[in-house]
Amino acid sequence: MTSQSPLPIHDTVASEERGESEAPGDQRPPRRKKRAPDELGGPEIYWRDRQTWLQEKGYILRPRYTSDWQPSWKGTKKDWFDCEDAFPVTNPFLMDATRISDKKVVMLKKIPQSVHPYEVEIGRFFSSEALASDPRNHCVPIVEVFQDPFDVDILIVVMPLLRLHDEPPFETVGEIVDFVQQIFEGLLFMHEHHVAHRDIMVLNVMMDPDPMFPHGFHPRFPDKTRDYRGRAKYYSRTEKPTRYYFIDFGHSRRYRKEDLPPQEMPIRGGDKTVPEFQGDGYDRPSNPFPTDVYYIGNLIRTCYLQEYIGLEFLDSLIADMTHTGPDQRPSMADAVTRFEDIRRGVPAKVLRRRLVGREENRLIRLILDARHLVVSFGYLVRRLPAMPRATAIRG
Tens-place pLDDT, residues 89-103: 999 999 999 999 999
Looking at the structure of the chain, the number of domains it has is: 1
For residue 6, the model assigns a pLDDT of 40
Question: Is residue 264 assigned to a domain?
Answer: yes
For residue 391, the model assigns a pLDDT of 72
**Which residues in the chain show pLDDT less than 50?**
1-25
pTM of structure: 0.90
Question: Is residue 31 assigned to a domain?
Answer: no
**Residue 66: exposed, middle, or buried by beta-carbon count in 10 A (0-12, 13-18, 19+)?**
middle
CATH number of the domain encompassing residue 329: 1.10.510.10
Question: Is residue 252 assigned to a domain?
Answer: yes
For residue 31, the model assigns a pLDDT of 60
Tens-place pLDDT, residues 351-365: 999 999 999 999 999
Question: Is residue 134 assigned to a domain?
Answer: no
Question: Is residue 348 assigned to a domain?
Answer: yes
> Of 111, 119, 151, which is closest to residue 10 (Cα–Cα)?
151
Q: Are 122 and 254 in contact (CB under 8 A)?
A: yes
Question: Is residue 334 assigned to a domain?
Answer: yes
For residue 394, the model assigns a pLDDT of 55
The domain containing residue 354 runs over which residues? 163-381
For residue 392, the model assigns a pLDDT of 58
* List of E strands, 143-294: 144-147, 154-160, 163-164, 195-196, 205-207, 244-246, 253-254
pLDDT above 90 covers what percent of the chain?
89
Question: Is residue 352 assigned to a domain?
Answer: yes
